[in-house]
Structure 1
Amino acid sequence: MTTVLESLFDDIARAREKIWVSTYIYRNDLMGHRFADAFADAARRGVDVRLLYDALGSHTTPAPFFEDMRARGIRARAYRPLSTVLRGGALFPREHSRVVVIDGAGYVGGAAWADEWLPRDQGGGGWHEVCSRVMGPCVADMERVFECRWMLANEAAGRSFDYWTGGVYDDVEFITDAPRPPAVIYERHLERIRAARRRVWIENAYFCPPRGLERELMEAARRGIDVKIIVPRSSDLPVIRNASLARYRSWLENGLQIYEFLPSMLHSKFAVIDDDWATVGTFNVNPTSLRWVSEANLIVKQPAFVRDAALVFERDLEKSEAVCLNNLPRLGPLARLRNALWSMGLDLLEPRYAGVRWHSALPERDGGLLPSLGV
């Protein structure tokens, strides 16, 4: 995160027109105060500084903190606050996407504005993150998405929307999607995995994929595609880790290579497929991203970008430990049952279009309750 933070602070210091930030989490901790000070300095220069924070994701941050930001010239607005819900508005979808626009530059990635993302030598949690800075006409699309979300923030109807550039640019696509079909980011993953010729590398903090995507990964492995997945060893959401542990054996038996990142909490969400496709963003490869939240991802087809993303993956792979059938975590019957139930719970969250088979038992190769229990 050090490089991302330095780039953000540099862009903020040089901003002359706008600083627009959309985030799920903004806290009143060391990171939050540092950026609040930088935003306030920009506002004093006449920069249009807007902060759109999700009211649920930022619920631990006291209201006076945001009031102080407003007093300093920062236009801070809660997305779908509790008052809207109490008036009969929708609680979901939440604004999980992270989009930053600073003049002609845009940022997309999974980082939030909290101490977990500060390096450890600066007093933070040292979480591992991958973000992308982009320039060019695509930034205008990011601005349009931000403005729409900004206007809809207090709407009781809870409307949400999909947005994608639709091939306007040859080498980059900016996508946001809402938890309803078509799930554009999910579909882009499916399409590209089906077309993979050499490799499918996924690094994701909360990997427990919808069954349709899981089957595509297994099919890719059966075709001889190099399918590697990096997940965190220690997770801040043990529910997702436990659910994925229930599927480890099935994944390994069907050719998926699983690695657990060791140094810190891995919070990144990116993928590299072949030499001409990479994506970075907020999409968690599990059903919650299809059911409850709006996401934002950048898809890039520039070979140089894809090479850089592959290098990041390879460096993270060196800091990870391979999971094999002979070194699966040894769990007792109750822990296995717990994990299997969490896995089934994620199945129940899946929208029908995501590929879960509701009217028949899942074949053994796709996992299921008995294989999860080791039966």
Structure 2
Amino acid sequence: MPLRLPPLRGGHGLRLLEGSRELFPALIAAIEQAKREVRLETYIFDFTGASSEVAYALERAARRGVAVQVVVDGFGTPGVPPDWAHRFEQAGVAWQVYAPVGSLGVLWPGSWRRLHRKLCVVDGTMAFCGGINILDDLHDPNHGTLEAPRFDFAVQVTGPLVAEVHAATQQLWQRLRARHSLRGQALSGALFPPRPTAVPPWPQDPAPAAEQRARAALLLRDNLRYRARIERAYRRAIGRAQSEIIIANAYFVPGRKLREALASAARRGVQVKLLLQGRYEYFMQYYAARPIYGALLQAGVAIHEYSPSFLHAKVAVIDARWATVGSSNLDPLSLLLAREANVVVEDAPFALQLRQRLLQAIGDPAAAMDPAQYGTRPLRQRVLEGLALGVMRLALAVQGKRYL
């Protein structure tokens, strides 16, 4: 079956952003200059620390007449502080919750299909995509204050791809409104009503500037038309790799085809480096990843575990030219169940910049995981790994999915 992927188009300006410390100022600057519309989607919208500055910017934009529409995931963002709910309502910020979690929580089978993508589009002229939630780098909702910033990336985009981001966010917003209306609730799951006035169309963007030459594409993953685009893009790029593959991924439990692609690349002489989660965050994701390391290590894949803070990145660089930045983990929750969004880029300057940051995070090559030590892990750890993998397989079976 051919890999049906959207073509990469030229004329894009790209800016790599690391962590909320780089994303939030860029996002706020764009919101402050908005004249017509701001659309934002995120899994987590937290109001602690620097993330509150994004909330203030959205409030200010709505108060000056900009149409502001925010969609959050019902599991990632179970509630909004009452003071912020009041502020947003008074300002006119329109807010909807994707798949609010019912009384059964994650025990309900349908609750595993989440909105995990992080997208923002401003006035149809600038977009943001990546793995960074509206969440301060040094704050974790489950673990409190962090000693070092979370490691994650986003990309700021101008050019043709922006229209695709706008269309995707608009389509989801309209579907949520229609779904709630069919249930007899004008905006059930929405905290605040949208502005009644329509947003006027904006003029066509001017021709791209000379520096806007990067080729890029938006890859969406959903449970309808685009079920496998992101994984297929990874497999195609890995299969074409000639010298180097660097992947940084927070929750790494790839399926058989993706594992075989990585092992095959390593065996044919490609340097394959994986930067993976080294800190315990969630039981299932942390332990379920480790049973698959053995075959990759045997094939010659270098595995590094990131431990200064939580690794939350979902990025890759191949042959210092192809790169991807987005929200999709390489695990079944992302690749089979969640709504995700990645930007794929073919541009040497952008890829080299991301490569440099990843190599800095990897650090000393001698710190790579030792295959011999991996083979002698304690029995207790192996038991936990088997249990976590079993839980993941059971969760997928309940969804009618097989992946591992």
If the TM-score is normalised by the length of the shorter chain, which range does it land in?
0.7 to 0.9
Query: Per-residue deviation at 1:63?
Result: 6.4
Q: In terms of mean alpha carbon deviation, does 131-140 or 42-51 score higher?
A: 42-51
Aligned to 2:251: 206
Partner Cα separation in structure 1 for residue 300 and residue 368 of structure 2:
13
**3-state SS of 1:299 partner:** strand
Q: Which blocks of at least 5 consecutive residues in structure 2 are unaligned?
A: 1-18, 184-212
Query: Which runs of structure 2 are paired with 1:298-309 in the superposition (5 Å)?
Result: 298-309=343-354
Which residue of 372, 375, 383 corresponds with 1:337?
Answer: 383
Contact 1:66 1:76 in 2 (8 A): no
Contact 1:179 1:289 in 2 (8 A): no
Query: Which runs of structure 2 are paired with 1:64-213 in the superposition (5 Å)?
Result: 65-82=84-101, 91=111, 93-103=113-123, 104-116=125-137, 126-154=149-177, 155=179, 171-179=215-223, 182-213=227-258
Query: Per-residue deviation at 1:354?
Result: 7.6
Query: Per-residue deviation at 1:152?
Result: 1.7
**CA 1:207–1:92 in 2, change beyond 3 Å: closer, same or farther?**
closer
**CA 1:236–1:259 in 2, change beyond 3 Å: closer, same or farther?**
same
Which residue of 5, 19, 26 corresponds with 2:38?
Answer: 19
Return the TM-score normalized by structure 1. 0.82
**3-state SS of 1:95 partner:** coil
Contact 1:202 1:270 in 2 (8 A): yes
Return the TM-score normalized by structure 2. 0.76
Contact 1:31 1:118 in 2 (8 A): no
Q: What stretches of structure 1 move > 6 A for 4+ residues in a row?
A: 83-86, 350-355
Q: What is the Cα-based RMSD across aligned positions, in Å? A: 3.1
The letter for the 1-side match of 2:382 is: R
Percent identity reads 26
**CA 1:216–1:89 in 2, change beyond 3 Å: closer, same or farther?**
closer
Aligned to 1:35: 54
Query: Per-residue deviation at 1:92?
Result: 5.2
Which residue of 355, 369, 373 corresponds with 1:310?
Answer: 355
Partner Cα separation in structure 2 for residue 315 and residue 263 of structure 1:
12
Partner Cα separation in structure 1 for residue 380 and residue 310 of structure 2:
26
The letter for the 1-side match of 2:149 is: G
Contact 2:306 2:362 in 1 (8 A): yes
Q: Deviations over 1:94-153 (max 9, x none)?
A: 21100011232111111111235569xxx7662111111110111010000000111122
Q: Taking CA–CA contacts closer than 8 Å with sequence separation of 6 or more, which of the two structures ends up with the larger relative contact order?
A: 2
Contact 1:93 1:178 in 2 (8 A): no
Q: Which blocks of at least 5 consecutive residues in structure 1 are unaligned?
A: 159-168, 357-375
**3-state SS of 2:232 partner:** helix
Query: Per-residue deviation at 1:53?
Result: 0.7
Aligned residues: 342
Query: Per-residue deviation at 1:257?
Result: 0.6
**3-state SS of 1:115 partner:** coil
**CA 1:272–1:347 in 2, change beyond 3 Å: closer, same or farther?**
farther
Which residue of 7, 10, 14 corresponds with 2:29?
Answer: 10
Partner Cα separation in structure 2 for residue 9 and residue 319 of structure 1:
36
Q: In terms of mean alpha carbon deviation, does 76-85 or 53-62 score higher?
A: 76-85
